[in-house]
Amino acid sequence: MSTKTTDFKIPMPWRYKRYVVFMFATLFTLALPWIQIDGNHFFLLSFDKLKLHLAFIQFDMQELYLMPFILMLVFLGVFGMTVLGGRVFCGWVCPQTVFRASYRDLIETKILGLRKRIKNKQIEPDMTKMENKIKKAIALVMAIVLAHLAAADFLWFFVPPEDFIPYAMDYSNHWALIGIWVGVALFLVYDIVFLQEDFCAYVCPYSRIQSVLYDDHTVMALYNTNRGGDIYDEEHNKNFTKQKDLQAFEPAAECTTCESCVTVCPTHIDIRKGLQLECINCLECVDACTTVMGKLGKPSLVTWSSEYEIIDQKGKTQYFRPKIIAYIVLLVGITVALGFMGSTKEHMLLNINKENRLFSDKRLPDGRVRVDNSYIFLLQNTENEKMKFFFDIIPPKGMEGKITIAKPTKAFTVVPGSKKKKIVTLRTTEVLVDDDRKNTIIPITIHAYALDKDGKKSERISVFRDSTFVFPKKSILLESK
């Protein structure tokens, strides 16, 4: 086989592109908890203050009906990503992969030189040398520091930085938070330094469900047996270890059996066996084969493509197939539903309960009868500042102004996050209904609102609640004392 070099251009390695994604994802997740708009975070699930912040809007815990939509977006997004691009999430976005690549490629290899080359991940450092033991200890210390930073960043989505830092300094009163922080950090150290890629292969459940999601058009790292030749048989037993043996059996086979695609693999698999659950689509094998075959003036034998296009050679990969379109429709639908439900956020929560006694009545000196109905208002201020609240009564048509507020007589203050209980009395001295047989239940609407700094009604912080006003029958009015 000729090994004459041509002008074949070797593209930029996927590894460099992954590093860019890693850097962006790291900086994004570190910066996001610090970004606030009007005191609200992009995402914060605070069990401390019983608040949910979503897209810089604050919701009360009673509005956690939004969380299922968020979870559906996450899971459907990952599943759709898998159907389209295999385990691309694992190789490009997963925090475990980002941590592991940062520790192995940056700290151990580039900074400390503990590993000789990034392209050989199968040879572990010789730990019999004192120099390597010292480097390993330094790497471990750096990993511990970074793990605590990563654990803190994770907790900032539950305890915001403005609270987390004072809580951490006052550790004697927040030992549970400190314990969770240290526990998460220690797990990360164990995962990154000791468990390594075994987490992807044996612990992560995602690898077990990927095969259910794959189809013929799913894009993944694939070895082209049509060009390279069959290195393994159907039982995954290795047929050839040398190029000359392979070409004696398959003269057209292009694989050089250099095994660069094997030595570079972080999960220690041979991509030439075919689809394996350990593969995380990091595309390191694609880079390795691209370099080797590029020197021969040929395209890589390992590519990021689909079985439909590379193995079966039936045509081009169909990216926007019905299954993918269905995922897109679902994701758009859930996003729209989440946006709609989030836009209907109530800036105050109000629950109205009528007292057990239907009404009270009393005859006034001028002969009129005063009828009172009492209610218990349970109101909660979901804003970040103290607010003054009051309310209006909206009676049925024809009864305007005949039902008034007897108690309270002025606006009352409610502090953020707390619930305010108010006894409210509505009153009428008019004959609303003239019925000899029964008491009359009159539907009313209660409009509760906040007052702005000028003492005017706030159009934004306003809720309406349906309730009733009970007016007694005529015989009771006549007996009133």
361, 477 Cβ separation under 8 angstroms: yes
- Give helix 175-189 / helix 161-169 axis angle, nearest 10°: 100
Plot region of 90 (φ>0 → left; ψ -120 to 50 → alpha; else → beta) = alpha
DSSP class of residue 8 equals: P
- Helix residue spans in 190-238 (DSSP H): 198, 206-213, 225-228
Please, which residues have CB within 8 angstroms of residue 211's CB and are 6 or more apart in sequence? 275, 277
On the CB side of 144, CA atoms within 13 Å amount to 7
The DSSP string of 47-102 is TTTTEEEETTEEEEGGGGGGHHHHHHHHHHHHHHHHHHHSTHHHHHT-HHHHHHHI
d(CA 374, CA 406): 10
pTM of the model: 0.75
CA distance 419 to 376: 12
Contact status, residue 460 vs residue 347, Cβ threshold 8 Å: yes
Residue 470 parent element (H or E): strand 457-471
Which domains, and CATH codes, for the chain? 1-34+86-314 (no CATH), 348-479 (2.60.40.10)
**124-127 LR contacts (CB < 8 Å, sep 24+):** none
| CA angle (99 as vertex; 96, 105 as ends), nearest 5 | 125
With beta carbons less than 8 A apart as the criterion, state whether 34 and 165 touch.
no
CA distances from 456 to 388, 404, 422 (A): 10, 19, 21
Distance CA 295, CA 290 (A): 8
Q: Which is it for the CA torsion 346, 350, 351, 357, positive or negative? A: negative
Rounded Cα gap, residues 318 and 120, in angstroms: 34
pLDDT, position 189: 96
Residue 359's φ and ψ, nearest 5 degrees, are: -165, 170
Report residue 413 CA to chain centroid gap: 36
Closest to 462 (Cα-Cα) out of 327, 316, 350:
350
Residue with the two structure tokens 């810089």: 56
User: Which pLDDT does position 8 carry in this prediction?
Assistant: 62
Pick from 438, 418, 427, 414: which is nearest to 375 by CA? Answer: 427
Residues in the chain: 481
DSSP 150-174: HHHHHHTTTS-HHHHHHHHHTGGG-
Task: Give the per-residue pLDDT at 125.
Answer: 87
- Dist. CA 149–CA 306, nearest whole Å: 39
Cα 190 to Cα 144: distance, rounded to the nearest angstrom: 10
User: Which pLDDT tens digits describe the chain residue by residue (481 residues)?
Assistant: 444 445 567 788 999 999 999 999 999 999 999 999 888 899 999 888 878 888 888 887 767 778 888 899 999 998 999 999 888 889 999 999 999 999 999 999 999 999 888 888 888 888 889 999 999 999 999 999 999 999 999 999 999 999 999 999 988 889 999 999 999 999 999 999 999 988 888 888 887 777 788 889 999 999 999 999 888 888 888 887 788 877 778 888 899 999 999 999 998 999 999 888 888 899 999 999 999 999 998 999 999 999 999 988 899 999 999 999 999 999 999 999 888 877 766 778 889 998 878 788 788 888 888 999 999 999 888 777 888 999 999 999 889 889 999 999 899 888 887 788 999 999 999 889 888 889 999 999 999 999 887 778 887 788 899 999 999 888 887 876 5
Cβ proximity of 380 and 349 under 8 Å = yes
pLDDT of amino acid 358 = 77
CB-based contact 117:109 (threshold 8 Å): yes
